Every structure is written in C-alpha cells, then in structure tokens.
Amino acid sequence: MNIKTTMRFPTKNILSAIGFRSSVLTADSRKPIAALAFSCLFSTMLVMPSQVSAQTKMTPAKIDALKTELTKEIDKQQKFTQEMVDMVFSFGELGFQEVETSKYLTDILQKNGFVIEQGISGVPTAWTAKWGSGKPIIAVGSDIDCIPKASQKPGVSYHDPIIEGAPGHGEGHNSGQPLNITAVLALKKIMEREKIPGTIMLWPGVAEEQLGTKAYYVRDGYFKDVDACIFTHVANNMSVSYGDAGNNGMVSALFSFEGQASHAGAAPWRGKSALDAVELTNIAWNYHREHMETTQRSHYVIKDGGDQPNVVPSKASVWYYFRERTYPKIMQMYKDGIKIAEGAAQMTDTKMTYEVLGSAWPGHFNQPMAEAMYENIKAVGLPKWTEADQTLAKAAQKEMGNPEGATVESNGLATTLSPLAKPTATSSSGGGGSDDIADISWNLPTIVLRYPANIPGLPGHHWANAIAMATPIAHKGVTAGAKVEAMTLLDLFVKPEVIKNAKAYFTDVQTKDVKYTPIISKTDKPAIHLNEKIMQEFRPEMKKYYYDPAKYPTYLEQLGIKYPTLRDTKTEGTGK
Ligand SMILES: [Zn+2]
C-alpha cells in the first residue's frame, strides 16, 4: 500500500544538518555531554545513601510471606487480567494512535488511586500514572501499539482476520500493561498495609514499532528522579538478561524529495521526478550494503511514490531504518544515508529534506536487578499449559512452516525455563532488532521481563503472532509474569541493597566507558502523525469488534470462536 505522508516539519538546511550530526561524533563535542552525564551520576551518588536508608528493611521470612501473598492475590485477579488482555487486543491500535488503549488503561489506574499525567512529551497517547510517595521511585513500563495488517482471530491456527487488512496485535503488545497493572495493584495493597514507602510510576511505550517515544521521555526529564525501571515484553518463555543484549540500536528517518510535475506522456522533459530520486537512493543504498559490516540491518518502505503514471511525481518519500550495534556505527550509517539521498537529489535535480521519525540505542540491562528477578522467575516457573493450548501452538507452528524444523521451537509451548541470559559480546553478535527501552536503560538501572504469553517459532510482526494473544496462553503467561514482576518490585522496595547494587553496576560497569548521547536532537519532535490515516480508515469497522466484558466472559466467546480452531487437515499448511 502506498500511503502519502504529509510533511509536518520545517525544511532543514541539509549541509548544516549533516555538519551538526557529524559533530556529534567527534571526541571534543562529546566532552560537555560526558561531563554532564558524570555530574548527574555524581549527584545521584551523593543523595543515594539517605534514599537507601529511607527504604523499609524486612526479614527474609517476612519478604517470602509477602511474596506468597502477592502470588495468591494475583491468582485471584485472573478474571480482571484476562479482561484487560482481551480488551487491549480488541482495540488493535497502531503507534501514536493508541487512543482507546490509553484511555482504558489510565481509567483503571485512576480508579485505583494513581495520579495520571496525560500527553507527556507532546504525545497525545502517552502518560504517566503515579502512586505512593517518596523514594525509591520505580518505573514500570510496557509497549501498547500493534502491527499493520496483522488482524487475526485469536485461537484460530490459520490466517483468519477479524477485519481484512486491519491492524492487529501481531506481536503481543496488548499483554504488557495488563501484566503491569495486575502486578502493581497487588503490590499496592501490601505497600499500603505494611506502610512501605516509595513511588510506582507506570508508563506506556507508545509507538514502539516506530521506536517513537522513549528517547523523548528521557530527553524531557520524565525519568530523571526514577531509581530503577522494570519493563515487560511479550515472549514465549519467562526470562531476563543483563549486560549487552546483543541487539541493534537504530535511526528511523524519512527522506522526502520534491521535483516538478508534468504530463508524463506529452511533456516528460519538463518533469523532475521525485520518485526517480527515491529509486536512485535505494539503488545506491543497496550497492552500499556490500561494504557494510555484517551486524547491520537496514530496510525501507516507499511511503509516497507519486499519484498516477501519467503525472511525473513531484513528491516522493522513502522511510529507512538504519540499525547497527553501537552508537557511532548507527550515526555513521545515518550520515551515509543522508549523503546518498543528497546525491540522488543532485542526480534528479530535486530537493531533499529529511527528518528523524524514531531512534533507539542498543540494549544494555542491569545485572543486580536481573539476578534478583531471576530468583523470582525460578520461584514462579512457567504456566501449566492445557492440551488445548499445546494443540493450538503446534498447529500454528506447523501452519507457519517453522524453519527450525522438528526442534523444540516447533514443538508447542515452552515447558522448560530459559536460563538467566548472559551478556553478548559485541564481536560475537549478529545484530538484530531494536527496542527504544534501551534509551531508558542507558539513563537508569533497567531490566526487561520477558514473559511466556506467545507461541515459539513464529515470524514476529505477523498475524500469526496474534493467534495466542487473546487466549488462555496469553492470559496464563500474563498472570505468571505479573507474579514475577510484583515479587521483584517488592525486592526493590524492601531490600535497599538491590537498588544500591543496581546503581553501582550502572555507574561502575555499564556507563564506565560508554556514555549515552541522544540520537534525537533537542528540537526533534515525536512523529505523532504516523498511522493517523490508517486508523481513520479502519477504526469505524474495528469499533464493532471491541470487547464487551459485560456481555461476554472472554473475547473468544464474543467472537464465537471454538478454542482451539484448527484448519481442515486437507488444506493444512497453505495459509502462509
Ligand atoms: Zn515489542
């Protein structure tokens, strides 16, 4: 689909912009940033002892008793958790357009005594929800956006969209905030009763698929007083990692060209084709690929390729993701991209402008926090899957022709816990995807809880990854994850040494040699116009399928889906 994008940002002076970007890379210009980072860390260290001493201390036996109580409370809340998972699944909103999702989640939090700040960083669907008082302040986050064209009926093992072509939760971002809310509400009861001091701040990853907001939250100071952050992300096992996550950071940039229209049949010589510039950019980039390191990932879509063949396109644009393993390499790719687009503009006598639509650093996560969480993972373990859960998982894996073949990956749902994931050496990593949680992890101690709410071995960013996401697989995975998160939050609030060690790791290990430099500038703005038109097109029809928990116990029942629904064996495996 060819979607036209309206430029919302002022035209930049290309040469000065390149100059600015390259200056970011020089050693000299980094000094003030490094000095600032150091002074921030130093001031954090100065105030730390009093904060730590203010934390509640408890005996190990008492903590264990409270953890048992948390898991019982979370088990009692399974119906509530299921409703939240199903509800957000049914909204299926793309990045920056998570209007219903954010309203629904903040309403629940507000009713439970959280103070909501809406529209943070100028993003209408972004918010913080705070409860409690004083230190420590622990942030709890998860993404809420979905995937284009990933509409899919839950519980059905083959492609069967709720609405053809509509967005859907083809990654599983409908499950993370329900997990967080379940966990913090259970914990809140205990903190109130036991008079445990501290503040919880929930926040959403808006437009994670566009790497669209987290660097802005950091830049705009929403995390400046926060002591630690737990992030949750859907997965197919229960795990946590520390150190270099082995993934790539990235810049997302839109290159727009402006030429001159003309009658493509009668007077093509009077036209200057912006589409030619887009195509030449892509050709040059694809030649350039041969000379890039093997860790890079770069990909693009043409957002605007013109209107119709008999009009020479006066406007065209191409949207790139440039991914690499380290900040300097990411910025080098971005510079190369700008240079190539500029060359294409010269060749076609068109004008080129560009803008950052998103960014992310490569991930690095906190060791003491991960180790504390892994103890809780071992205590909670994996959910008990039923025959129906396993049947659905195996059918979906067979449907997608899992490239791993007949391995564990294509053999149903996870039944053995992942080990605590160790750091990946920069030299041994093959690169990969990105998540802007890294921008938070480079500013304060952060870990990511990956919880088992999805089916192993699926392609990711695909309708198949939505199959499990409003079924008992997701419901049980979220309940198990909520237990781990609540227990780990309790550790952070009542074991002062965990935060103390987390801060020491952050200062003495993680940021000892590598200092965070934002990829976005002080004046870049979140690209909140993204996905607006797609949601305008599909929302009226999607509204008819919003989950109504007052009428139906589950979303499966509302849609009239038998769990699991399997393909007629005669046509099996043809739905890819
Ligand atoms: Zn994600």
pLDDT of residue 485: 98
331 alpha carbon to ligand 1 midpoint, in Å?
23
Q: Which residue has the tokens 């093992």?
A: 157
| pTM, to two decimals | 0.88
Distance CA 362, CA 486 (A): 27
234 or 410: whose pLDDT is higher? 234
291 alpha carbon to ligand 1 midpoint, in Å?
30
By 3-state DSSP, what share of the chain in percent is helix, strand and coil, each rounded to 5?
45, 15, 40
Name the amino acid, one letter, at 85.
Answer: V
* Tokens coding 57: 């201390």
pLDDT of residue 15: 34
143 alpha carbon to ligand 1 midpoint, in Å?
7
527 alpha carbon to ligand 1 midpoint, in Å?
18
Residue 53 has pLDDT above 60, yes or no: no
145 alpha carbon to ligand 1 midpoint, in Å?
8
Q: Is the C-alpha dihedral spanning 368, 372, 373, 377 positive or negative?
A: positive
437 alpha carbon to ligand 1 midpoint, in Å?
10
User: b/e for 32-57, b at 16 or more Cβ within 10 A?
Assistant: eeeeebeeebeebeeebeebbeebee
209 alpha carbon to ligand 1 midpoint, in Å?
7
Mean pLDDT, range 193-219, rounded to an integer: 97
Report the half-sphere exposure of 109 (CA within 13 A, side-chain side): 30
Distance CA 163, CA 150 (A): 9
48 alpha carbon to ligand 1 midpoint, in Å?
33
271 alpha carbon to ligand 1 midpoint, in Å?
43
pLDDT of residue 282: 98
Segment holding 355, helix H or strand E: strand 351-360
Q: Which of 395, 397, 415 is nearest to 405 (CA)?
A: 397
Residue 22 has pLDDT above 70, yes or no: no
Report yes or no: 443 and 223 within 8 Å, Cβ to Cβ.
yes
Residue 196 has pLDDT above 60, yes or no: yes
Residue 56 has pLDDT above 70, yes or no: no
Distance CA 508, CA 35 (A): 15
Distance CA 189, CA 72 (A): 13
Q: Which of 291, 307, 103, 483 is nearest to 491 (CA)?
A: 483
251 alpha carbon to ligand 1 midpoint, in Å?
17
171 alpha carbon to ligand 1 midpoint, in Å?
6
Distance CA 332, CA 330 (A): 5
144 alpha carbon to ligand 1 midpoint, in Å?
9
Mean pLDDT, range 481-489, rounded to an integer: 98
How many helices (DSSP H) and strands (DSSP E) are in the chain? 16, 12
Q: Which residue has the tokens 């002080």?
A: 522
38 alpha carbon to ligand 1 midpoint, in Å?
31
Q: Which of 432, 571, 454 is nearest to 179 (CA)?
A: 454
pLDDT of residue 427: 65
Report yes or no: 91 and 546 within 8 Å, Cβ to Cβ.
yes
233 alpha carbon to ligand 1 midpoint, in Å?
6
pLDDT of residue 30: 35
Question: In sequence order, which residues have a C-beta less than 8 Å from that of residue 512 and are 6 or more positions away?
Answer: none
Query: Where are the alpha helices (H) located in 246-402, listed in sequence order?
Result: 274-288, 327-348, 367-380, 387-399
Query: Average pLDDT of the chain?
Result: 90
210 alpha carbon to ligand 1 midpoint, in Å?
10
Q: Which residue has the tokens 């801060």?
A: 503
**407-438 per-position pLDDT tens digit:** 544 689 999 999 998 897 766 778 888 999 99
Q: What is the DSSP string of 24-73?
A: HHSHHHHHHHHHHHHHHHHHHHHHHHHHHHHS----HHHHHHHHHHHHHH
436 alpha carbon to ligand 1 midpoint, in Å?
10
pLDDT of residue 35: 38
Q: How confident is the model at residue 403 (pLDDT cuts 50, 70, 90)?
A: low
475 alpha carbon to ligand 1 midpoint, in Å?
18
173 alpha carbon to ligand 1 midpoint, in Å?
6
Residue 346 has pLDDT above 90, yes or no: yes
pLDDT of residue 368: 98
**109-164 per-position pLDDT tens digit:** 999 999 999 999 999 999 999 999 999 999 999 999 999 999 999 999 999 999 99
SS3 assignment for 401-431: CCCCCCCHHHCCCCCCCCCCECCCCHHHCCC
Distance CA 334, CA 253 (A): 8
342 alpha carbon to ligand 1 midpoint, in Å?
33
Q: Which of 428, 477, 468 is nearest to 152 (CA)?
A: 468
146 alpha carbon to ligand 1 midpoint, in Å?
9
Mean pLDDT, range 489-514, rounded to an integer: 97
Mean pLDDT, range 550-572, rounded to an integer: 89
300 or 53: whose pLDDT is higher? 300
208 alpha carbon to ligand 1 midpoint, in Å?
6
207 alpha carbon to ligand 1 midpoint, in Å?
10
498 alpha carbon to ligand 1 midpoint, in Å?
27
264 alpha carbon to ligand 1 midpoint, in Å?
43
Q: Which of 510, 516, 444, 483 is nearest to 242 (CA)?
A: 510
CA distances from 235 to 23, 214, 414 (A): 39, 20, 10
* Tokens coding 187: 């914990």
Q: How confident is the model at residue 571 (pLDDT cuts 50, 70, 90)?
A: low
pLDDT of residue 38: 37
172 alpha carbon to ligand 1 midpoint, in Å?
7
**352-382 per-position pLDDT tens digit:** 999 999 999 999 999 999 999 999 999 999 9
372 alpha carbon to ligand 1 midpoint, in Å?
23
Name the amino acid, one letter, at 468.
Answer: A
Q: Which of 324, 285, 250, 326 is nearest to 520 (CA)?
A: 250
**309-323 per-position pLDDT tens digit:** 999 999 999 999 999
Mean pLDDT, range 64-88, rounded to an integer: 98
13 alpha carbon to ligand 1 midpoint, in Å?
34
pLDDT of residue 401: 86
17 alpha carbon to ligand 1 midpoint, in Å?
31
142 alpha carbon to ligand 1 midpoint, in Å?
9
329 alpha carbon to ligand 1 midpoint, in Å?
23
Neighbours of 209 (CB within 10 A): 21
